[in-house]
């Protein structure tokens, strides 16, 4: 079982189908596979063997996909790294993963050389340009290698991808995703998220290839779909819309913040987005008001995923059909859910003793399937805490409704306990976002000498509007129990987010830790 064979087979069966489009350049599947084979041979020539790790610190681009699939073919674990991390953060990941080779975009040359002594296992650094006595040039490495490669024979539980968590609560951990995990993810994606995906499909990589978009490149390669990679390092909604129209894009994965920027972009009114079949969003909750707007503007192409790096992109999903509300109250209510368990995935809600809870009861979400990670690299304590009795414990709090739809309440650490009452911030956020002056909102618990914790809303407002804290508190009082309403509201220009677009409630809480 080697997921690199997905590329080998697509290149054999449909060699002339466009594989990668980047600016004015295009690679066919035959050309893509040849370059991957060359890089695989080059890695072996540099001493990389099955079971080693190779770090990929790269902007989105063709070379990122080439290096990733070369790692799969060799049987070494790819370690894709978010390119927005600070040098102290990415050097920690490179060193902790014991990567032997780093493949990097040229913009990281200086930082990598300055931190070379902090990466104890690194033998070679390959750069996309700017080679010198310390760095190897990517194209030079390719040009000296053969274009034929025999994909390594691997065991299902050999590591394919070392997925480092975003680290919002401390040092990131490397989830070991095996060839079995990513094969299961691929088949599940093709069954649930992109049914019917084939050589005529076009996927747009607007999100980082080091994260969800890179994972979803694998099923698209397996079906010989075309991959369009935008220029640049930041999300440009106007350019994304232009590419959707130009290339007749059918599939795209976005974070909720990206989807909101797309539907708020004035260019959408003049863009032909009718080719879209699957706009997959996930990685953070999306509020119901934003979803109804997205469906109205884009049509019935939305599909939500709920997953974690530890169960890559694969726990539950809200199918295309459930985004079409048509005035039905129950269907609108379920837009606030994360859907139903994915094909071949078990999901349960359990109490503190691991006992499964009935519908309507809140508890920790657990899952088991062939998609659940092997464990955390070099971290047996964290592995034991996450994997218990065959289940992955997500750390998320949720409940099932009577029809089996899972409602994600919050991370367990985000739940507010005020006066002995459990308060789930998302419930309040869903109310506040409905106020026309609210652009974004995050609800947190802050220290309170009387109640233990009290509810605080942190709000950024829509341009050209004004609202007072008391108006928002009164607005909440009309929609939720009085004890749940915010006791205070702070206004900010921007709510802090991490490099994947997730709101960092830990950063917000730290500000108020001492009652400031």
61-95 pLDDT per residue, tens = 999 999 999 999 999 999 999 888 888 889 999 99
347's CB contacts (< 8 A; 6+ apart) are: 315, 316, 341, 365, 366, 367, 406
Q: How far is CA 50 from each of CA 72, 76, 125, 182, 280, rounded to the nearest angstrom?
A: 9, 5, 19, 17, 33
391-420 pLDDT per residue, tens = 999 988 899 999 999 998 766 667 786 755
SS3 391: strand
Question: Percentage helix, strand, coil, to 5, in the chain?
Answer: 35, 25, 40
- The tokens of 120 are what? 């104890």
- The tokens of 75 are what? 């049987």
φ/ψ region of 230 (left if φ > 0, alpha if ψ in -120 to 50, else beta) reads beta
Reference 367, options 337, 387, 351; nearest CA is 387
What is the tally of helices (H) and strands (E) in the chain? 17, 26
Angle between helices 256-264 and 288-298 (to 10 degrees): 50
Bridge partners, residue 302, by sequence:
279
Q: Which domains does the chain have, with CATH numbers?
A: 5-234 (3.40.50.980), 415-511 (3.30.300.30)
SS3 361: coil
320-345 pLDDT per residue, tens = 999 998 888 888 889 989 999 999 99
Q: Is the dihedral of CA 321, 323, 326, 328 positive or negative?
A: positive
CB 502 within 8 A of CB 208: no
DSSP 8-state symbol, 498: -
Taking the C-alpha atoms of residue 178 and residue 28, their distance in angstroms, rounded to an integer, is 28
Query: Is residue 513 predicted with pLDDT exceeding 70?
Result: no
CB 414 within 8 A of CB 425: yes
Q: Which pLDDT band holds residue 498 (cuts at 50, 70, 90)?
A: low
The top-scoring range by mean pLDDT among 28-37, 232-241, 360-369, 386-395 is: 28-37
Q: In what order do the strands lie in the sheet with 124-127?
A: 136-137, 124-127, 101-104, 53-57, 77-80, 159-164, 174-178
Q: Which pLDDT band holds residue 444 (cuts at 50, 70, 90)?
A: confident
Reference 60, options 251, 289, 297, 236; nearest CA is 236
Angle at 134 between CA 132 and CA 136, to 5 degrees: 65
Half-sphere CA count of 478, side-chain side, radius 13 A: 9
Taking the C-alpha atoms of residue 167 and residue 180, their distance in angstroms, rounded to an integer, is 25
Instruction: Determine the length of the chain.
Output: 516
Taking the C-alpha atoms of residue 306 and residue 397, their distance in angstroms, rounded to an integer, is 13
Query: Is residue 99 predicted with pLDDT exceeding 90?
Result: yes
Taking the C-alpha atoms of residue 109 and residue 74, their distance in angstroms, rounded to an integer, is 25
In degrees and rounded to multiples of 5, residue 287 shows phi and psi of -75, 150
Burial tier of 167 (Cβ tally within 10 Å: 0-12, 13-18, 19+): middle
Position 279 scores a pLDDT of 96
- The tokens of 401 are what? 């409704």
Position 410 scores a pLDDT of 62
CB 349 within 8 A of CB 365: yes
Q: How far is CA 4 from each of CA 71, 74, 111, rounded to the nearest angstrom?
A: 8, 8, 31
CB 460 within 8 A of CB 484: no
455-493 pLDDT per residue, tens = 899 999 988 898 999 999 999 888 877 778 898 999 998
CB 181 within 8 A of CB 368: no
Q: Which pLDDT band holds residue 515 (cuts at 50, 70, 90)?
A: very low
- A 10 A CB-CB count for 217 gives 23
* Average of per-residue pLDDT across 136-160: 95
172-218 pLDDT per residue, tens = 899 999 999 999 999 999 999 998 899 999 999 999 999 899 999 99
- A 10 A CB-CB count for 326 gives 6
Measured distance between the N- and C-terminal CA atoms of the chain, rounded to whole angstroms: 55
φ/ψ region of 148 (left if φ > 0, alpha if ψ in -120 to 50, else beta) reads beta
In degrees and rounded to multiples of 5, residue 214 shows phi and psi of -65, -40
């Amino acid at each position: 079982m080697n997921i690199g064979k997905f590329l080998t087979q697509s290149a054999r069966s449909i060699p002339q189908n466009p594989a990668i489009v980047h600016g004015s350049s295009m690679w066919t599947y035959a050309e893509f596979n040849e370059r991957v084979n060359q890089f695989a041979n080059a890695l072996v020539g540099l001493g990389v063997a099955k079971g080693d790790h190779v770090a990929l610190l790269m902007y989105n681009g063709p070379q990122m996909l080439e290096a990733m699939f070369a790692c799969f073919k060799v049987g070494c674990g790819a370690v894709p790294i978010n390119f927005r991390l600070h040098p102290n953060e990415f050097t920690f990941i490179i060193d902790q993963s014991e990567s032997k080779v780093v493949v990097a975009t040229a913009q990281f040359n200086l930082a990598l050389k300055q931190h070379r002594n902090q990466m104890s296992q690194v033998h070679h650094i390959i750069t996309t340009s700017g080679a010198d006595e310390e760095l190897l040039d990517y194209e030079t490495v390719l040009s000296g290698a053969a274009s034929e490669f025999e994909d390594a024979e691997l065991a299902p539980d050999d590591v394919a991808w070392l997925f480092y968590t975003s680290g919002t609560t401390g040092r990131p951990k490397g989830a070991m995703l095996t060839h079995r995990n990513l094969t299961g993810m691929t088949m599940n994606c093709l069954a649930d998220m992109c049914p019917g995906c084939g050589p005529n499909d076009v996927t747009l990589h607007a999100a980082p290839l080091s994260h969800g978009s890179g994972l979803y490149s694998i099923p698209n390669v397996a079906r010989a779909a075309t991959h369009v990679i935008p220029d640049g390092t930041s999300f440009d909604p106007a350019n994304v819309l232009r590419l959707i129209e130009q290339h007749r894009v059918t599939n795209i994965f976005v974070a909720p913040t990206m989807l909101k920027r797309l539907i708020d972009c004035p260019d959408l009114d003049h863009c032909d987005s009718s080719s879209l079949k699957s706009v997959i969003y996930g990685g953070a909750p999306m509020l119901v008001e934003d979803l109804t707007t997205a469906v109205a503007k884009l049509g019935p192409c939305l599909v939500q995923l709920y997953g974690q790096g530890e169960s890559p992109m694969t726990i539950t999903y809200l199918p295309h059909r459930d985004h079409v509300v048509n005035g039905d109250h129950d269907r609108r209510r379920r837009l606030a859910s994360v859907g139903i368990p994915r094909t071949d995935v078990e999901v349960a809600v359990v109490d503190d003793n691991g006992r499964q809870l009935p519908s309507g009861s809140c508890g920790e979400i657990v899952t088991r399937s062939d998609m659940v990670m092997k464990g955390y690299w070099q971290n047996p304590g964290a592995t034991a805490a996450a994997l218990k009795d065959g289940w992955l414990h997500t750390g998320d709090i949720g409940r099932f409704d009577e029809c089996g739809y899972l409602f994600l309440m919050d991370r367990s650490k985000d739940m507010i306990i005020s006066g002995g009452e459990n308060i789930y911030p998302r419930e309040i956020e869903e109310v506040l976002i409905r106020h026309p002056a609210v652009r974004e909102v995050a609800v947190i618990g802050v220290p309170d000498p009387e109640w233990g914790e009290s509810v605080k809303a942190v709000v950024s407002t829509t341009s050209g509007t004004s609202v007072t804290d008391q108006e928002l508190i009164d607005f909440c009082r009309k929609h939720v129990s009085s004890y749940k309403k915010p006791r205070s509201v702070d206004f900010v220009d921007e709510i802090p987010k991490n490099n994947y677009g997730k709101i960092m409630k830990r950063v917000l809480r730290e500000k108020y830790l001492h009652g400031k």
